[in-house]
Amino acid sequence: MSGYRLLPFRFLRFDERRTLVVNEVGEPHFLSHEDFARFVEHQLPMDGDAYLDLKAKQFLFDSRSLAPFELLVAKYRTRKSFLEGFTSLHIFVVTLRCEHSCAYCQVSRVSADRPRYDMSEGTATAALDLVFRSPAPHLKIEIQGGEPLLHFDRIQQIVLEGRRRATAEGREVTFVVATNLALIDDAMLHFFREHNVFLSTSLDGPQALHDGNRPRPGNDSYARTIGGIDRARAILGFDGVAALMTTTRLSLQSPEAIVDEYVERGFSSLFLRPLSPYGFARRSARTTGYTMREFLDFYVRALDHILMRNANGAWLVETYAQMLLTRILTPFPIGYVDLQSPAGAGIGAVVYNFDGDVYASDESRMLAEMGDRHFRLGNVHHDSYTSIFGGETLRALVAGSVAESVPGCSDCAFLPWCGSDPVHHYAMSGDVVPHVPTSEFHEKNFFIIKHLLSLLERDAITRRTLWSWVRNEPSRRAEVA
Ligand code: SF4
């Protein structure tokens, strides 16, 4: 064979000087516009640097050897290895009751005195039967609400029964309780310690912001959350509790203060999350909502401040950036359902509602609370494992979330790092397949991915910090400072 042949790749005119090329397994490379034109016209000199770099990264091949294909196949298999385990995350909604009344609540919670919205013992047992039918080697059971501590008996049952079954089958299971911590007490914490249960809580920022976002009787959400975090750390250990924030219109003014709150409280990660178009969040969109452009401005300011705090010795990871950078810089999957293709709804994570209904994702359950049961997969009492996980609803959801077949995504340079969120697309436009030019999901991911690629070139300290996030260990610079 003379000359060279091209292997599959996607490309983007990245800036005035350079074209970004990304191969089929997500490895990026920058070329000058001139070299890119020579590359696709088969005119690159075979002894030049550009040629040798592109050959080493399997953008082209020039012999009869099958080695480049075998390498691409091995890397592609690694990238898609999240498909091997099937559903590993099982979310139990043990009650819809909550004593908070957050305007942005995505759960459509009911007030704390209506126990008919509690999961029964029989429903929890039937849901556990399905959990342990999953072939995933490592199971994760997340217990949430509403506020799950309002139904602590059910938490105990799920943890004790789940642990017993896992031990009997020789399987690993991790438990997480997502709680606002307002009602936590020492007896609960000792139970969690005894059974190795992790906690995840909500912390939206400094006191005024947190209490503004998260009203409850007594207006003391922040004090209770901080008190709960301190007690949980004392009993479970410092890493026994993690925190998440939700961005509201109020948050947009204070990205630096939110970051500082997380650093001062000793957290090692901060996930800058926009509002979801579900539940109370949708109903209160006028007061709590904002455009994606406003969120992205907030995101950039917050990320800059996080990088500055890291450069000065703190260790705080922005979770979304960490996941995307892992996708960009390594071949390994990250297990985040919205950043994979096909999406993980139903095949990576599944939700058991208080009444036994099974949903493909938390978002699809929220849609159902709003009256749209499009993504209900079945019920733990009436449907079999096969009909729930092999039925038409889930098959259609998976088929619609293969980004490689979505118009606009299929030829996007960022596709190997991006994903799909079919339930979000459906909630926004009535179709699981997005209309990319008007999709907020696209607007967010395209902007943040491009911003992260630019940050990787900003300076040595920034690059070292971002790489330390991918390795998940503090950079030497941060330790020394
Ligand atoms: S959503 Fe946007 S950024 Fe993501 S693959 Fe599709 S076109 Fe690319």
The confidence score (pLDDT) of residue 481 equals 33
Whole-structure pTM over 0.75, yes or no? yes
Percent helix / strand / coil, the chain, rounded to 5: 50, 15, 35
Range(s) of the domain holding residue 32: 5-79
The confidence score (pLDDT) of residue 385 equals 96
Does 130 share its domain with 59?
no
Is 477 among the domain residues?
A: no
Contact 88, 140 (CB under 8 A): yes
Measured in Å, residue 151 CA sits from the centre of ligand 1 at: 41
The confidence score (pLDDT) of residue 479 equals 40
Measuring CA to CA, which residue among 137, 254, 164, 245 is closest to residue 200?
A: 245
Where a domain ends, among 79, 111, 143? Answer: 79
The confidence score (pLDDT) of residue 63 equals 82
As a whole number of angstroms, the distance between CA 437 and CA 460 comes to 35
> Which residue in the block uniquely carries the two structure tokens 């139903």?
346
Residue 336, phi then psi, degrees to nearest 5: -95, 120
As a whole number of angstroms, the distance between CA 419 and CA 326 comes to 14
- Residue 420, ligand 1, Cβ within 6 A: no
The confidence score (pLDDT) of residue 313 equals 94
Does 160 share its domain with 27?
no
Does 140 share its domain with 59?
no
Positions in the chain short of pLDDT 70: 1-2, 106-113, 277-288, 475-481
- Residue 418, ligand 1, Cβ within 6 A: yes
Q: Which CATH number does the domain housing residue 206 bear?
A: 3.20.20.70
Q: What is the 3-state secondary structure (H, E, C) of 140-160?
A: EEEEECCCHHHHHHHHHHHHH
As a whole number of angstroms, the distance between CA 91 and CA 337 comes to 13
- Residue 339, ligand 1, Cβ within 6 A: no
Q: Which of 20, 445, 448, 449 to mutate to test the pocket of ligand 1 (most atoms within 8 A of CB)?
A: 445
Measured in Å, residue 26 CA sits from the centre of ligand 1 at: 13
Where a domain ends, among 356, 379, 402? Answer: 379
Q: Which of 323, 341, 415, 450 to mutate to test the pocket of ligand 1 (most atoms within 8 A of CB)?
A: 415
Pairing of strands 376-379, 357-359: antiparallel
Does 18 share its domain with 71?
yes
Does 255 share its domain with 352?
yes
Is 401 among the domain residues?
A: no
Q: Which residues contact 223 (CB under 8 A, 6 or more apart)?
A: 207
Helices of type H across 58-140:
67-79, 121-131
Q: Which ligand 1 atom is nearest residue 441's CA? A: 1
As a whole number of angstroms, the distance between CA 79 and CA 463 comes to 23
Q: Which residues contact 461 (CB under 8 A, 6 or more apart)?
A: 311, 477
Is 456 among the domain residues?
A: no
Contact 220, 207 (CB under 8 A): no
Is 458 among the domain residues?
A: no
The confidence score (pLDDT) of residue 288 equals 65
Does 258 share its domain with 305?
yes
Is 257 among the domain residues?
A: yes
Does 227 share its domain with 92?
yes
Question: What's the pLDDT tens digit per position in 10-64?
Answer: 999 999 999 999 999 999 999 999 999 999 999 999 999 999 999 999 999 988 7
Is 70 among the domain residues?
A: yes
Is 388 among the domain residues?
A: no
Is 223 among the domain residues?
A: yes
Does 67 share its domain with 148?
no
Does 33 share its domain with 115?
no
Question: What's the pLDDT tens digit per position in 243-284?
Answer: 999 999 999 999 999 999 999 999 999 999 998 765 544 555
Report how many domains make up the chain. 2
Does 39 share its domain with 181?
no
Question: What's the pLDDT tens digit per position in 205-223?
Answer: 999 999 999 988 888 999 9
Q: Which of 20, 324, 405, 414 to mutate to test the pocket of ligand 1 (most atoms within 8 A of CB)?
A: 414
Where a domain ends, among 79, 97, 118? Answer: 79
Residue 355: Cβ within 10 Å count: 16
Does 10 share its domain with 125?
no
The confidence score (pLDDT) of residue 100 equals 84
- Residue 442, ligand 1, Cβ within 6 A: yes
Residue 226, phi then psi, degrees to nearest 5: -65, -40
Question: What's the pLDDT tens digit per position in 275-312?
Answer: 876 554 455 555 667 899 999 999 999 999 999 999 99
Does 174 share its domain with 229?
yes
